[in-house]
Amino acid sequence: MSTSPAIDAVAALKDVHRSTWASGDYPAVAEHIAAGPPAAALAAVAAGPGDHVLDVATGSGNAAVMAARLGLRVTGLDLVPDLLDVARSRAAAEGVEVDLVAGDAEALPFADGAFDRTVSVFGIQFAPRHQQVADELVRVTRPGGSIGLVNWTPDGLIGRVLRTIGKYVPAPPPFASPPPLWGDEGHVRALFARHDVELDFWRETNPWRFASVEEFMTFFEQAYGPMIKVRERLEAEGTWGDAREELIALLHAFNHANDGSFDAKAEYLVVSARRSA
């Protein structure tokens, strides 16, 4: 059976995303965001004993493993099977249980209302069709349940890094919205406007500390999938030097250290969305 070009285009983009997040060493990046952000997402949903929590785009399992450590029943979902394997090993090493499922945030393979709490930490913001994701998050969360999201803001450090590398590559297809928009309160309000949810927002920051700006840059260009893909493309075109210089200048602008090291705070938006009962 043939599929429409639009469906092919979406599937092709998901393949690119799968290979992007499988490249480099995402689990090493995740170690730098393993404390505050997952704790903020879990605080946003106020999970309690007996709750079944879904962690969407769990990656190497930061929020899922933290939730399991708190004694909650946890399912984690991600587009990339290799990352789920890392999450599985982490859960086993910590002696906690997490059910890990390969899948897409835009078409969650779960029944309506299957979860008491749904979280995502810097995860759903990378799926291309924002409205579809918001609708899916609400659908799988039971009435009276809640959704907690942690998203890099457009003007915070990582939002600015993403926007900078985005300038050097062709625009994404028209159906894809930029990830940093999920860090904008007005955008998130509009996505949930069609649903009966009560929203709260607050902002927090995640520290990134390295021996120098250059060390952070080298780590990111070798470990962080979205930057690796842009670097590979621009190296082939001979323009990576310009992009790298702009990124280094950005990192210096965010750096608070005055001893030659890199010490910056990256802002993120925390979203708490409670479904009415």
Ligand X SMILES: C[S@@+](CC[C@H](N)C(=O)[O-])C[C@H]1O[C@@H](n2cnc3c(N)ncnc32)[C@H](O)[C@@H]1O
Listing DSSP states for 47-73 in one string gives --TT-EEEEET-TTTHHHHHHHHTT-E
Instruction: Kindly state the smallest distance separating residue 14's Cβ from ligand X, in Å.
Output: 6
Residues 6+ apart with CB under 8 A from 13: 128, 172, 173, 176
User: Cβ 79 to ligand X, closest distance in Å?
Assistant: 4
Q: Give whichever of 50 and 232 is closer to ligand X, judged by the CB atom.
A: 232
Contacts 24+ apart (CB under 8 A), 110-113: 110/54, 110/75, 110/140, 111/140, 112/139, 112/140, 113/139, 113/140, 113/141, 113/142, 113/143, 113/145
Our CA dihedral for 267, 31, 102, 165, rounded to 10 degrees, sits at 50
Question: Would you say 63 or 223 has its CB closer to ligand X?
Answer: 63
The number of helix segments (H) and strand segments (E) in the chain equals 11, 7
Give the residue with the Cβ less far from ligand X, 16 or 257: 16
Rounded Cα distance between 155 and 163, Å, is 9
Chain position whose Cβ is nearest to ligand X? 59
User: Considering the complex, what minimum distance in angstroms separates the CB of residue 90 from ligand X?
Assistant: 11
Closest CB to ligand X among residues 175, 245: 175
Nearer to ligand X, 33 or 243 (CB): 33
Spell out the residues 6+ positions from residue 162 whose beta carbon is closer than 8 angstroms to its own: 152, 178, 179, 180, 226
d(CA 40, CA 220): 24
Shortest reach from residue 58's CB to ligand X, in Å: 5
Minimum distance, C-beta of residue 120 to ligand X, in the bound complex (Å): 7
Between 82 and 196, CB nearer to ligand X? 82
Of the pair 51, 78, the CB lying nearest ligand X is at 78
| Minimal distance, residue 22 CB to ligand X, in Å | 8
Please give the residue ranges that form the binding site for ligand X (CB under 6 A): 17, 21, 30, 33, 57-59, 62-63, 78-80, 83, 104-106, 121-123, 126-127
CB of 144 to ligand X, least distance (A): 25
Min separation Cβ 38 and ligand X, Å: 6
How far apart CA 213 and CA 211 sit, in angstroms, is: 7
Closest to ligand X by CB, 26 vs 210, is 26
Ranges assigned E (strand) in 57-114: 73-78, 99-102
How far apart are alpha carbons 199 and 178 in whole angstroms? 22
Rounded distance, CA 158 to CA 28, Å?
A: 16
